[in-house]
Copies of this chain bind each other. A is one copy, B any other.
Amino acid sequence: MSVTDELLANNARYAENFTGPLPLPPAKGVAVLACMDARLNVYGALGLKEGEAHVIRNAGGVVTEDEIRSLAISQRLLGTREIILIHHTDCGMLTFTDDGFKRDIEAETGIKPAWAAEAFPDPAADVRQSIARIKASPFIPHTDSVRGFVFDVATGKLGEVK
């Protein structure tokens, strides 16, 4: 049995106690943008329940054009007002460089990605970079409450980046 089939069996159990549908707009008016890291369970770590917050995730929890797209849709069409950014300790993005990653891909496939890999050496500094990119975007109307955190994968605690 594949992992996918195993997770589908879990879904059948989840659906047994599921009651829906809830409203489409997030009840708490917040969008969370976090790293895709497997150890970062956003619903658990923030005590979120179904229907409360948009959750956007990618490698690093960085802000590229696609996160601006998602945040613009979140705020403009679905009414969110606060943004929470979460990077974390022991992140995979600290273990490589854009140049090396793209060189390896080019060596294997013959094609060099035209995009940045967005590796970074310091999670807190990259949280600040993400906040700066959001505040600089003309497409995100509400930037009064954009706060960033580093999740400690050893303790489960969020530390705010000032």
Contact = CB atoms under 8 A, between A and B. Distances in A.
Interface string A48-73: 11111111111100001111111011
B57 A90 contact: no
Interface of A: 2-4, 6-8, 10-15, 18, 20-22, 24-31, 36-59, 64-70, 72-74, 76-78, 82, 84, 89-90, 92-93, 95-96, 101, 104-105, 109, 111, 113, 115-118, 138-139, 145, 147, 152-158, 160
21 contacts: A2-B145, A4-B84, A7-B47, A7-B84, A11-B46, A12-B157, A14-B46, A18-B157, A20-B156, A21-B90, A22-B153, A26-B38, A36-B70, A39-B50, A41-B50, A42-B43, A42-B55, A56-B58, A59-B73, A64-B66, A66-B67
* 10 A-B pairs with least C-beta separation: A10-B47, A18-B156, A66-B66, A15-B156, A59-B70, A26-B38, A7-B46, A59-B73, A21-B153, A36-B54
